[in-house]
């Protein structure tokens, strides 16, 4: 009868033989880039379907599902600050005045969550690839959509259409002004009651201020891409699109867009001069010269003055800001959950709008605002450590955002655009630091 020897319960003297040494766990699969291309690269399609706003969190949910499937995903620096902000926002829902406000509250929260998911996805995808250029490509596709739809607003500013999403929604939901603006297709923003309306490109957004905000955030990313990729059709297409983008951008007449871009370029110029980076300085001069030449054909100063003289925008904003400061003293910790409509101000817009700073302060309280601002400040400090020309251009995105926060709302797709750019900049900065420590060539040289 044969005897089967039981396996040894202890290893033989001298340790395990080489043949049975446990193999290291396999590396997790790389995160695919097609979901980012689906989300950012097909913006014109989502706009035509009326799903650009309501479908955006669903695309974020797709990214989140892939992150869960992947597992072992690193969080970008300062993510804890944003998680604390999200926790405060969730708790502030207890302050909502009525259940009817829950829908818009949930949508804004979904945009906040989607931005974080996009940042985590981009940061992880960039860290696991030898070449960073491919990760930034979906944001460049977003830029092309922005320019193309902006020109549509210039050429056919009165275009308006009923979208499939608008038809599918229940009548009571689609008729809500907040939702109607999101699902009804328009190319430009203007006053239909004005005898001489000023047409301001807005597509794919509902409001032209969102277009100007996205333009100022994305422009540094486009310049950074052309510095990372020094050849190829996409690089030359982006360079050609820069002067073409100026007409729709300028015709938005967004003063905060010019202010935020100017602040970003000023910070970039100071850093370039302190570091002696001639390439960055030359790129700044190139962008400024192109913008200056555009003013020869577009009387931007005259158009802005005409708009200000024919509207009460400054007075309306001031009355809203004053009312926010007055009311938040009664509920400073959690705010009121969402903006509210009142008859005590001169503006038609609800209290807690006309700027992300005021929305967060009024809707979620002082602690939430501190966390919101702290994340962008931390991002600006971390990204400022970049040494490459591309990294320095990307580092101005949080600076641009900080300037826009008092004037533009960000509870929309633009917050995801900001997180995309910042997360990519953080990954690039980290790689530059590791390369300097190892004495290897800078990453920008390896991504061309």
- ω into 204 cis (within 30 of 0): yes
The one-digit pLDDT tens for each residue of the chain (448 residues) are 444 444 444 555 555 455 565 666 666 778 999 999 999 999 999 999 999 999 999 999 999 999 999 888 999 999 999 999 999 999 999 999 888 789 889 999 999 999 999 999 999 999 999 889 999 999 999 999 999 999 999 999 999 999 999 999 988 788 888 889 999 999 999 877 666 788 999 999 999 999 999 999 999 999 999 999 988 999 999 999 999 999 999 999 999 999 999 999 999 999 999 988 899 999 999 999 999 888 888 888 888 887 776 666 777 788 888 889 999 999 999 999 998 877 655 556 788 788 999 999 999 999 999 999 999 999 999 999 999 999 999 999 999 999 999 999 999 999 999 999 999 999 999 999 988 887 665 554 444 4
Contact between 393 and 283 under an 8 Å Cβ cutoff? The reply is yes
CA 383 to chain centre: 15
Cα–Cα distance for residue pair 304/317, rounded to 1 Å: 17
pLDDT digits (tens, 9 = 90+) for 14-41: 554 555 656 666 667 789 999 999 999 9
**By CB neighbour count within 10 A (0-12 exposed, 13-18 middle, 19+ buried), where does 276 fall?**
exposed
Contacts with 100 (C-beta within 8 Å, 6 or more apart), sequence order: none
Report pTM. Answer: 0.91
Residue 160's beta-bridge partner residues?
Answer: 186
Q: Three-state DSSP class for 52?
A: coil
The H or E element that residue 188 is part of is strand 188-189
**Integer CA distances (angstroms), 142 to 38, 251, 259, 414, 422, in order:** 10, 20, 22, 11, 16
Angle between helices 233-244 and 208-228 (to 10 degrees): 140
Q: Based on the number of CB atoms within 10 Å of its own CB, is 374 exposed (0-12), middle (13-18) or buried (19 or more)? A: middle
């Amino acid at each position: 009868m044969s005897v089967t020897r039981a396996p040894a319960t202890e290893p033989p003297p001298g340790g395990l033989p080489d043949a049975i040494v446990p193999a290291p766990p396999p590396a997790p699969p790389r995160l695919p880039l097609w979901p980012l291309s689906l989300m950012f690269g097909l913006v014109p399609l989502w706009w035509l379907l009326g799903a650009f706003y309501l479908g955006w969190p669903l695309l974020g949910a797709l990214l989140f599902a892939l992150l869960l499937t992947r597992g072992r995903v690193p969080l970008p620096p300062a993510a804890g600050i944003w998680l604390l902000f999200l926790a405060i926002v969730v708790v502030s829902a207890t302050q909502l005045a009525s259940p009817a406000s829950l829908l818009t509250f949930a949508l804004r929260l979904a945009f906040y969550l989607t931005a974080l998911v996009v940042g985590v996805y981009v940061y992880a995808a960039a860290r696991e690839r030898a070449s960073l250029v491919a990760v930034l490509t979906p944001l460049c596709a977003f830029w092309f959509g922005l320019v193309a739809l902006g020109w549509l607003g210039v050429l056919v500013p009165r275009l308006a259409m009923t979208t499939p999403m608008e038809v599918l929604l229940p009548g009571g939901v689609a008729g809500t002004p907040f939702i109607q603006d999101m699902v009804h297709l328009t190319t430009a923003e203007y006053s239909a009651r004005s005898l001489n309306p000023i047409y301001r490109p807005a597509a794919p957004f509902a409001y032209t201020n969102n277009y100007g905000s996205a333009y100022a955030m994305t422009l540094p990313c486009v310049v950074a891409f052309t510095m990372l990729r020094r050849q190829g059709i996409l690089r030359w297409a982006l360079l050609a699109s820069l002067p073409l983008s100026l007409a729709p951008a300028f015709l938005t007449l967004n003063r905060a867009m010019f202010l935020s871009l100017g602040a970003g370029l000023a910070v970039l110029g100071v850093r370039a001069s302190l570091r002696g980076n001639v390439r960055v300085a030359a790129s700044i001069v190139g962008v400024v010269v192109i913008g200056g030449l555009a003013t020869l054909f577009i009387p931007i100063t005259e158009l802005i003055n005409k708009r200000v003289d024919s509207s009460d925008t400054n007075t309306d904003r001031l009355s809203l800001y004053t009312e926010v400061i007055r009311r938040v003293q009664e509920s400073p910790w959690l705010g009121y959950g969402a903006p509210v409509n009142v008859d005590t101000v001169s503006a038609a817009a609800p209290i807690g709008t006309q700027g992300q700073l005021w929305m967060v302060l009024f809707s979620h309280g002082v602690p939430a605002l501190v966390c919101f601002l702290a994340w962008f400040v931390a991002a600006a400090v971390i990204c400022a450590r970049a040494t490459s020309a591309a990294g320095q251009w990307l580092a101005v995105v949080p600076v641009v955002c900080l300037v826009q926060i008092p004037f533009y709302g960000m509870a929309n797709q633009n917050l995801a655009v900001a997180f995309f750019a910042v997360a990519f900049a953080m990954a690039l900065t980290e790689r530059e630091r590791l390369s300097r420590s190892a004495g290897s060539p800078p990453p920008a040289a390896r991504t061309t």
